[in-house]
Structure 1
Amino acid sequence: MPADTYRTVAGRASAGFEVRGSEFVGHVSPAETVEAAEAFVAEVEREYDDATHNVPAYRVRADPLREYANDDGEPSGSAGKPALNVLQGEAVENVACVVTRYYGGTNLGYGGLVRAYSRATSEALEAARIVEERPHVRLSITVEYDDSGTVRGIIESSGNAFDAAYGERASFEVRVPIEEADELRDRLRSATSGRAEIE
Protein backbone atom coordinates (compact mmCIF):
# COMPACT_ATOMS: atom_id res chain seq x y z
CA MET A 1 0.00 0.00 0.00
CA PRO A 2 1.60 3.34 -1.01
CA ALA A 3 2.44 5.63 1.90
CA ASP A 4 -0.02 8.27 0.73
CA THR A 5 -3.05 5.99 1.02
CA TYR A 6 -4.84 4.94 4.17
CA ARG A 7 -7.63 2.58 5.19
CA THR A 8 -11.04 3.96 6.13
CA VAL A 9 -14.71 3.03 5.70
CA ALA A 10 -16.74 3.50 2.52
CA GLY A 11 -19.74 4.92 4.38
CA ARG A 12 -21.94 4.69 7.44
CA ALA A 13 -23.20 1.38 8.72
CA SER A 14 -24.57 -0.35 11.82
CA ALA A 15 -24.57 -3.95 12.99
CA GLY A 16 -26.25 -5.43 16.05
CA PHE A 17 -26.58 -8.64 18.04
CA GLU A 18 -27.67 -9.87 21.46
CA VAL A 19 -25.58 -11.41 24.26
CA ARG A 20 -27.42 -12.88 27.25
CA GLY A 21 -30.25 -10.38 26.99
CA SER A 22 -28.09 -7.31 26.35
CA GLU A 23 -28.44 -5.77 22.92
CA PHE A 24 -25.31 -4.29 21.27
CA VAL A 25 -25.35 -2.12 18.15
CA GLY A 26 -22.12 -0.90 16.57
CA HIS A 27 -22.32 2.26 14.43
CA VAL A 28 -19.44 3.52 12.27
CA SER A 29 -19.00 6.54 10.05
CA PRO A 30 -16.22 8.14 8.03
CA ALA A 31 -14.93 11.26 9.82
CA GLU A 32 -12.24 13.46 8.28
CA THR A 33 -11.83 15.70 11.33
CA VAL A 34 -12.07 15.41 15.10
CA GLU A 35 -15.11 17.74 14.90
CA ALA A 36 -16.82 15.38 12.43
CA ALA A 37 -16.05 12.38 14.67
CA GLU A 38 -17.45 14.14 17.75
CA ALA A 39 -20.53 15.27 15.81
CA PHE A 40 -21.22 11.65 14.79
CA VAL A 41 -20.81 10.49 18.40
CA ALA A 42 -23.23 13.20 19.59
CA GLU A 43 -25.72 12.27 16.84
CA VAL A 44 -25.74 8.58 17.89
CA GLU A 45 -26.06 9.58 21.58
CA ARG A 46 -29.12 11.71 20.71
CA GLU A 47 -30.70 8.99 18.57
CA TYR A 48 -30.10 6.28 21.19
CA ASP A 49 -30.54 8.40 24.32
CA ASP A 50 -32.59 5.61 25.92
CA ALA A 51 -29.62 3.18 25.76
CA THR A 52 -27.75 2.11 28.88
CA HIS A 53 -24.38 3.01 27.30
CA ASN A 54 -23.14 4.70 24.12
CA VAL A 55 -19.41 3.94 23.95
CA PRO A 56 -17.40 6.12 21.52
CA ALA A 57 -14.04 5.49 19.86
CA TYR A 58 -12.40 7.21 16.92
CA ARG A 59 -9.14 7.55 14.99
CA VAL A 60 -8.68 10.69 12.89
CA ARG A 61 -5.74 11.58 10.66
CA ALA A 62 -4.40 14.80 12.04
CA ASP A 63 -0.94 15.90 13.04
CA PRO A 64 -0.45 13.84 15.16
CA LEU A 65 -3.06 11.07 14.68
CA ARG A 66 -5.91 11.65 17.14
CA GLU A 67 -7.30 8.63 18.96
CA TYR A 68 -10.09 8.70 21.52
CA ALA A 69 -12.18 6.20 23.47
CA ASN A 70 -14.47 6.40 26.49
CA ASP A 71 -16.12 3.62 28.53
CA ASP A 72 -19.32 5.67 29.10
CA GLY A 73 -19.96 4.16 32.52
CA GLU A 74 -18.87 0.58 31.75
CA PRO A 75 -16.04 -0.85 33.92
CA SER A 76 -12.75 0.91 33.10
CA GLY A 77 -11.08 -0.55 30.01
CA SER A 78 -13.95 -2.94 29.18
CA ALA A 79 -15.65 -0.97 26.39
CA GLY A 80 -13.96 2.05 24.78
CA LYS A 81 -10.47 0.52 24.67
CA PRO A 82 -11.63 -2.74 23.04
CA ALA A 83 -13.53 -0.71 20.40
CA LEU A 84 -10.45 1.44 19.77
CA ASN A 85 -8.24 -1.69 19.67
CA VAL A 86 -10.36 -3.03 16.78
CA LEU A 87 -9.95 0.26 14.86
CA GLN A 88 -6.18 0.08 15.50
CA GLY A 89 -6.01 -3.61 14.59
CA GLU A 90 -7.76 -2.94 11.27
CA ALA A 91 -5.46 0.08 10.77
CA VAL A 92 -8.42 2.27 9.81
CA GLU A 93 -8.26 6.06 10.09
CA ASN A 94 -10.79 8.88 9.75
CA VAL A 95 -13.35 6.55 11.33
CA ALA A 96 -15.70 7.17 14.26
CA CYS A 97 -17.48 4.37 16.06
CA VAL A 98 -20.14 4.25 18.76
CA VAL A 99 -21.30 1.00 20.35
CA THR A 100 -24.78 1.26 21.85
CA ARG A 101 -25.75 -1.17 24.63
CA TYR A 102 -29.17 -1.87 26.06
CA TYR A 103 -28.60 -3.72 29.34
CA GLY A 104 -30.53 -6.98 29.51
CA GLY A 105 -30.32 -7.76 33.22
CA THR A 106 -27.41 -10.23 33.18
CA ASN A 107 -23.89 -9.02 33.96
CA LEU A 108 -21.49 -10.16 31.25
CA GLY A 109 -18.32 -9.75 33.31
CA TYR A 110 -15.22 -7.88 32.18
CA GLY A 111 -14.19 -10.43 29.52
CA GLY A 112 -17.73 -10.68 28.18
CA LEU A 113 -17.90 -6.89 27.79
CA VAL A 114 -14.52 -6.75 26.03
CA ARG A 115 -15.68 -9.44 23.57
CA ALA A 116 -19.06 -7.80 22.96
CA TYR A 117 -17.69 -4.28 22.36
CA SER A 118 -14.93 -5.66 20.12
CA ARG A 119 -17.42 -7.73 18.13
CA ALA A 120 -19.86 -4.82 17.70
CA THR A 121 -17.03 -2.64 16.35
CA SER A 122 -15.75 -5.39 14.01
CA GLU A 123 -19.19 -6.18 12.61
CA ALA A 124 -20.01 -2.49 12.03
CA LEU A 125 -16.68 -2.03 10.19
CA GLU A 126 -17.44 -5.07 8.07
CA ALA A 127 -20.90 -3.70 7.24
CA ALA A 128 -19.39 -0.32 6.31
CA ARG A 129 -16.68 -1.90 4.09
CA ILE A 130 -13.06 -0.92 4.57
CA VAL A 131 -11.58 0.88 1.57
CA GLU A 132 -8.26 2.48 0.68
CA GLU A 133 -8.40 6.23 0.42
CA ARG A 134 -5.95 8.96 -0.49
CA PRO A 135 -5.57 12.01 1.75
CA HIS A 136 -7.82 14.81 0.50
CA VAL A 137 -8.04 18.54 0.92
CA ARG A 138 -11.13 20.74 0.51
CA LEU A 139 -10.93 23.71 -1.84
CA SER A 140 -13.44 26.56 -1.71
CA ILE A 141 -13.66 28.38 -5.03
CA THR A 142 -15.66 31.57 -5.51
CA VAL A 143 -16.18 33.23 -8.89
CA GLU A 144 -18.44 35.69 -10.69
CA TYR A 145 -21.20 34.10 -12.79
CA ASP A 146 -19.27 34.83 -16.02
CA ASP A 147 -16.60 32.33 -14.93
CA SER A 148 -18.88 29.78 -13.25
CA GLY A 149 -19.46 27.59 -16.33
CA THR A 150 -15.73 27.35 -17.03
CA VAL A 151 -14.92 26.57 -13.40
CA ARG A 152 -17.68 23.97 -13.13
CA GLY A 153 -16.46 22.30 -16.35
CA ILE A 154 -12.88 22.04 -15.03
CA ILE A 155 -14.05 20.63 -11.68
CA GLU A 156 -16.32 18.09 -13.39
CA SER A 157 -13.52 16.98 -15.73
CA SER A 158 -11.25 16.42 -12.70
CA GLY A 159 -13.68 13.73 -11.50
CA ASN A 160 -13.74 15.02 -7.91
CA ALA A 161 -16.83 15.26 -5.72
CA PHE A 162 -18.08 18.84 -5.30
CA ASP A 163 -20.98 20.98 -4.11
CA ALA A 164 -22.04 24.13 -5.93
CA ALA A 165 -23.97 27.08 -4.52
CA TYR A 166 -25.27 30.05 -6.47
CA GLY A 167 -25.80 33.19 -4.42
CA GLU A 168 -24.53 36.67 -5.33
CA ARG A 169 -21.57 34.78 -6.81
CA ALA A 170 -21.02 31.13 -7.65
CA SER A 171 -19.12 29.05 -5.11
CA PHE A 172 -17.85 25.50 -5.28
CA GLU A 173 -16.60 23.17 -2.54
CA VAL A 174 -14.35 20.49 -3.99
CA ARG A 175 -12.77 17.47 -2.31
CA VAL A 176 -9.44 16.82 -4.05
CA PRO A 177 -6.62 14.33 -3.39
CA ILE A 178 -3.77 16.37 -1.89
CA GLU A 179 -1.34 15.50 -4.70
CA GLU A 180 -3.80 16.84 -7.34
CA ALA A 181 -4.77 20.04 -5.52
CA ASP A 182 -2.01 22.33 -6.86
CA GLU A 183 -2.64 21.29 -10.44
CA LEU A 184 -6.38 21.97 -10.08
CA ARG A 185 -5.69 25.38 -8.49
CA ASP A 186 -3.36 26.25 -11.40
CA ARG A 187 -5.91 25.17 -14.03
CA LEU A 188 -8.68 27.22 -12.38
CA ARG A 189 -6.50 30.34 -12.03
CA SER A 190 -5.26 30.02 -15.58
CA ALA A 191 -8.78 29.49 -17.05
CA THR A 192 -10.17 32.52 -15.17
CA SER A 193 -7.07 34.72 -15.65
CA GLY A 194 -6.59 34.68 -11.88
CA ARG A 195 -10.16 35.82 -11.08
CA ALA A 196 -11.12 32.65 -9.17
CA GLU A 197 -10.78 33.05 -5.40
CA ILE A 198 -9.44 29.76 -4.05
CA GLU A 199 -9.08 28.93 -0.37
Structure 2
Amino acid sequence: MTERFRTVAERAAASFEVQGSQFIGHVAPAETVDAAEAFVDEIRADYADATHNVPAYRVRASPFREYSSDDAEPSGSAGKPALNVLQQREIENVAAVVTRYYGGTNLGVGGLARAYSRAVKEGVDAAGVVESVPHERFDITVEYDDSGSVRGLLESADVEFTADYGAEVTFAVRVPTAEGSELRDRVRSATSGRADIDVDV
Protein backbone atom coordinates (compact mmCIF):
# COMPACT_ATOMS: atom_id res chain seq x y z
CA MET A 1 0.00 0.00 0.00
CA THR A 2 2.13 2.84 -1.27
CA GLU A 3 -0.65 5.09 -2.59
CA ARG A 4 -1.45 8.34 -0.87
CA PHE A 5 -4.40 8.47 1.49
CA ARG A 6 -6.40 11.03 3.46
CA THR A 7 -6.10 11.34 7.23
CA VAL A 8 -6.50 14.01 9.92
CA ALA A 9 -3.68 16.46 10.55
CA GLU A 10 -3.85 16.57 14.35
CA ARG A 11 -5.93 15.89 17.42
CA ALA A 12 -8.97 18.11 17.81
CA ALA A 13 -12.40 18.28 19.41
CA ALA A 14 -15.67 20.06 18.72
CA SER A 15 -18.70 20.37 20.98
CA PHE A 16 -22.34 21.47 20.73
CA GLU A 17 -25.68 20.93 22.46
CA VAL A 18 -28.86 19.30 21.18
CA GLN A 19 -31.96 19.66 23.40
CA GLY A 20 -29.84 19.79 26.55
CA SER A 21 -27.50 16.91 25.65
CA GLN A 22 -23.88 17.93 25.16
CA PHE A 23 -21.92 16.19 22.40
CA ILE A 24 -18.12 16.37 22.05
CA GLY A 25 -16.49 14.93 18.95
CA HIS A 26 -12.86 13.92 19.62
CA VAL A 27 -10.67 13.02 16.63
CA ALA A 28 -7.02 11.92 16.40
CA PRO A 29 -4.59 10.41 13.89
CA ALA A 30 -3.91 6.72 14.59
CA GLU A 31 -1.41 4.69 12.55
CA THR A 32 -2.20 1.35 14.23
CA VAL A 33 -5.16 -0.42 15.80
CA ASP A 34 -3.32 -0.22 19.14
CA ALA A 35 -2.99 3.56 18.78
CA ALA A 36 -6.69 3.89 17.89
CA GLU A 37 -7.77 1.80 20.86
CA ALA A 38 -5.40 3.69 23.18
CA PHE A 39 -7.05 6.97 22.08
CA VAL A 40 -10.50 5.49 22.73
CA ASP A 41 -9.38 4.31 26.18
CA GLU A 42 -7.88 7.73 26.95
CA ILE A 43 -11.09 9.60 26.10
CA ARG A 44 -13.18 7.09 28.06
CA ALA A 45 -10.94 7.66 31.09
CA ASP A 46 -10.93 11.47 30.72
CA TYR A 47 -14.73 11.55 30.31
CA ALA A 48 -15.62 8.69 32.64
CA ASP A 49 -18.57 10.71 33.99
CA ALA A 50 -20.18 10.97 30.54
CA THR A 51 -23.34 9.07 29.67
CA HIS A 52 -21.77 7.56 26.54
CA ASN A 53 -18.39 7.52 24.79
CA VAL A 54 -18.99 6.19 21.27
CA PRO A 55 -15.88 5.05 19.35
CA ALA A 56 -15.21 4.63 15.63
CA TYR A 57 -11.95 4.14 13.78
CA ARG A 58 -10.47 3.21 10.40
CA VAL A 59 -6.85 1.98 10.32
CA ARG A 60 -4.68 0.89 7.40
CA ALA A 61 -3.64 -2.34 9.09
CA SER A 62 -3.26 -5.65 7.29
CA PRO A 63 -6.10 -6.45 6.88
CA PHE A 64 -7.77 -3.03 6.89
CA ARG A 65 -9.62 -2.47 10.16
CA GLU A 66 -12.86 -0.59 10.76
CA TYR A 67 -14.62 -0.54 14.12
CA SER A 68 -17.50 1.20 15.82
CA SER A 69 -19.68 0.66 18.87
CA ASP A 70 -22.98 2.16 20.01
CA ASP A 71 -21.76 2.13 23.65
CA ALA A 72 -25.26 1.35 24.98
CA GLU A 73 -27.07 3.86 22.75
CA PRO A 74 -29.93 2.33 20.69
CA SER A 75 -28.60 -0.04 18.01
CA GLY A 76 -27.45 1.76 14.87
CA SER A 77 -27.97 5.24 16.34
CA ALA A 78 -24.37 6.14 17.26
CA GLY A 79 -21.38 4.02 16.19
CA LYS A 80 -22.45 3.45 12.59
CA PRO A 81 -23.31 7.12 11.92
CA ALA A 82 -19.93 8.09 13.43
CA LEU A 83 -18.06 5.56 11.25
CA ASN A 84 -20.08 6.58 8.17
CA VAL A 85 -18.61 10.09 8.36
CA LEU A 86 -15.06 8.69 8.24
CA GLN A 87 -16.04 6.43 5.32
CA GLN A 88 -17.77 9.20 3.37
CA ARG A 89 -14.81 11.55 3.85
CA GLU A 90 -12.51 8.66 2.85
CA ILE A 91 -10.31 9.28 5.90
CA GLU A 92 -8.01 6.53 7.14
CA ASN A 93 -5.63 6.08 10.09
CA VAL A 94 -8.09 8.00 12.23
CA ALA A 95 -9.89 7.41 15.51
CA ALA A 96 -12.97 9.25 16.72
CA VAL A 97 -14.84 9.19 20.02
CA VAL A 98 -18.09 11.07 20.58
CA THR A 99 -18.78 11.89 24.21
CA ARG A 100 -22.41 12.52 25.21
CA TYR A 101 -23.71 14.01 28.42
CA TYR A 102 -27.44 13.22 28.53
CA GLY A 103 -29.58 16.30 28.97
CA GLY A 104 -32.93 14.80 29.94
CA THR A 105 -34.61 14.71 26.53
CA ASN A 106 -34.63 11.55 24.39
CA LEU A 107 -33.55 12.43 20.86
CA GLY A 108 -34.78 9.27 19.12
CA VAL A 109 -32.70 7.12 16.77
CA GLY A 110 -32.80 9.70 13.96
CA GLY A 111 -31.87 12.56 16.26
CA LEU A 112 -29.04 10.57 17.79
CA ALA A 113 -27.69 9.54 14.39
CA ARG A 114 -27.65 13.17 13.24
CA ALA A 115 -25.94 14.33 16.44
CA TYR A 116 -23.26 11.62 16.43
CA SER A 117 -22.43 12.14 12.76
CA ARG A 118 -22.34 15.92 13.26
CA ALA A 119 -19.92 15.51 16.18
CA VAL A 120 -17.48 13.50 14.05
CA LYS A 121 -17.85 15.89 11.08
CA GLU A 122 -17.09 18.92 13.25
CA GLY A 123 -14.21 17.11 14.98
CA VAL A 124 -12.68 16.21 11.61
CA ASP A 125 -13.15 19.78 10.36
CA ALA A 126 -11.38 21.08 13.47
CA ALA A 127 -8.50 18.60 13.01
CA GLY A 128 -8.10 19.30 9.30
CA VAL A 129 -7.72 16.68 6.56
CA VAL A 130 -4.35 16.09 4.90
CA GLU A 131 -2.92 13.72 2.32
CA SER A 132 -0.35 11.27 3.62
CA VAL A 133 1.62 8.27 2.47
CA PRO A 134 1.91 4.98 4.39
CA HIS A 135 4.78 4.92 6.85
CA GLU A 136 6.60 2.11 8.59
CA ARG A 137 8.74 2.01 11.70
CA PHE A 138 11.94 0.18 12.51
CA ASP A 139 14.68 0.24 15.12
CA ILE A 140 18.40 0.37 14.39
CA THR A 141 20.71 -0.67 17.21
CA VAL A 142 24.44 -0.03 16.87
CA GLU A 143 27.57 0.35 18.95
CA TYR A 144 28.68 3.90 19.74
CA ASP A 145 31.40 3.68 17.06
CA ASP A 146 28.74 3.43 14.34
CA SER A 147 26.19 5.81 15.88
CA GLY A 148 27.58 8.98 14.29
CA SER A 149 27.47 7.62 10.75
CA VAL A 150 23.97 6.20 11.23
CA ARG A 151 22.70 9.47 12.70
CA GLY A 152 24.23 11.44 9.82
CA LEU A 153 22.64 9.08 7.29
CA LEU A 154 19.18 9.45 8.90
CA GLU A 155 19.51 13.24 9.04
CA SER A 156 20.55 13.45 5.39
CA ALA A 157 17.61 11.19 4.44
CA ASP A 158 15.32 13.67 6.24
CA VAL A 159 13.32 11.00 8.08
CA GLU A 160 11.77 11.15 11.54
CA PHE A 161 13.76 9.42 14.25
CA THR A 162 14.59 9.44 17.94
CA ALA A 163 17.84 8.22 19.48
CA ASP A 164 18.22 6.37 22.77
CA TYR A 165 21.78 6.31 24.13
CA GLY A 166 22.08 3.35 26.49
CA ALA A 167 24.64 0.55 26.54
CA GLU A 168 24.21 0.75 22.78
CA VAL A 169 22.51 3.37 20.63
CA THR A 170 19.02 2.63 19.34
CA PHE A 171 17.43 4.79 16.66
CA ALA A 172 13.63 4.52 16.32
CA VAL A 173 12.89 5.46 12.72
CA ARG A 174 9.65 6.40 10.97
CA VAL A 175 9.93 6.44 7.19
CA PRO A 176 7.60 6.35 4.17
CA THR A 177 7.05 2.67 3.38
CA ALA A 178 8.27 3.13 -0.19
CA GLU A 179 11.68 4.31 1.11
CA GLY A 180 12.14 1.90 4.02
CA SER A 181 13.93 -0.97 2.29
CA GLU A 182 16.48 1.27 0.55
CA LEU A 183 17.20 3.16 3.79
CA ARG A 184 17.83 -0.09 5.67
CA ASP A 185 20.22 -1.21 2.92
CA ARG A 186 22.11 2.08 3.23
CA VAL A 187 22.39 1.64 7.01
CA ARG A 188 23.72 -1.91 6.57
CA SER A 189 26.24 -0.66 4.03
CA ALA A 190 27.35 2.28 6.22
CA THR A 191 27.95 -0.05 9.18
CA SER A 192 29.38 -2.98 7.17
CA GLY A 193 26.42 -5.05 8.35
CA ARG A 194 27.00 -4.41 12.05
CA ALA A 195 23.65 -2.63 12.58
CA ASP A 196 20.88 -4.68 14.20
CA ILE A 197 17.67 -3.69 12.39
CA ASP A 198 14.29 -4.65 13.82
CA VAL A 199 11.29 -3.88 11.60
CA ASP A 200 7.93 -3.37 13.33
CA VAL A 201 5.21 -5.50 11.79
The residue number in structure 1 matching 2:151 is 152
The residue that corresponds to 1:48 in the other structure is 47
Moved beyond 3 Å, runs of 4+: none
% identical equivalent positions: 68
Alignment match, 1:183: 182
CA spacing shift, 1:3–1:138, aligned 2, 3 Å: closer
SS of corresponding position for 2:74: coil
Q: Is residue 106 of structure 1 aligned with residue 105 of structure 2? A: yes
Corresponding residue number in structure 1 for 2:130: 131
TM-score by length of 2: 0.96
Unaligned runs of 5+ in 1: none
For residues 97-130 of structure 1, give each alpha carbon's deviation from its aligned partner in whole angstroms, at most 9, with x where no partner exists.
Answer: 0000000111111111111000000011111111
Indicate the residue corresponding to 1:97 in structure 2: 96
Q: Aligned AA for 2:17?
A: E
Matching residue of 1:171: 170
In the alignment, the residues of structure 1 paired with residue 155 and residue 126 of structure 2 have an alpha-carbon distance, to the nearest angstrom, of 30
| Deviation of the 1:64 alpha carbon | 2.1
Aligned residues: 198
Alpha-carbon separation, structure 1, partners of 2:139 and 2:2: 27
Given the alignment of the two structures, is residue 7 of structure 1 paired with residue 6 of structure 2, yes or no? yes
User: What residue ranges of structure 2 are gaps of 5+ in the alignment?
Assistant: none
Does residue 33 (structure 1) correspond to residue 42 (structure 2)? The answer is no
**2:2, 2:177 within 8 Å by CA — same for their partners in 1?**
no
SS for the counterpart of 1:28 is strand
* CA contact 2:23–2:100 (8 Å) conserved in 1: yes
Residues 115-154 of structure 1 show CA distances to partners (whole Å, capped at 9, x for unaligned) of: 1000000011111111111111101000001111111111
Distance 2:159 2:190 in 1: 18
Q: TM-score, normalising length from structure 1?
A: 0.97
AA matched with 2:37: E
- How far apart, CA to CA, are the structure 2 residues paired with 1:198 and 1:66? 27
Secondary structure of 2:44's partner?
helix
Q: CA deviation at 1:3?
A: 6.3
> In the alignment, residue 132 of structure 1 is paired with which amino acid?
E
How much has 1:187 moved relative to structure 2?
1.2
Matches of 1:19 and 1:58, distance apart in 2:
24
Give distance in 2, aligned partners of 1:105 and 1:175: 47
Whole-angstrom distance in 2 between the partners of 1:163 and 1:127: 29
Q: Secondary structure at the match of 1:155?
A: helix
Task: State the one-letter code of the partner of 1:149.
Answer: G
Question: What CA deviation, in whole Å up to 9, does each residue of 1:147-167 have, x standing for no partner?
Answer: 111111111111111111010
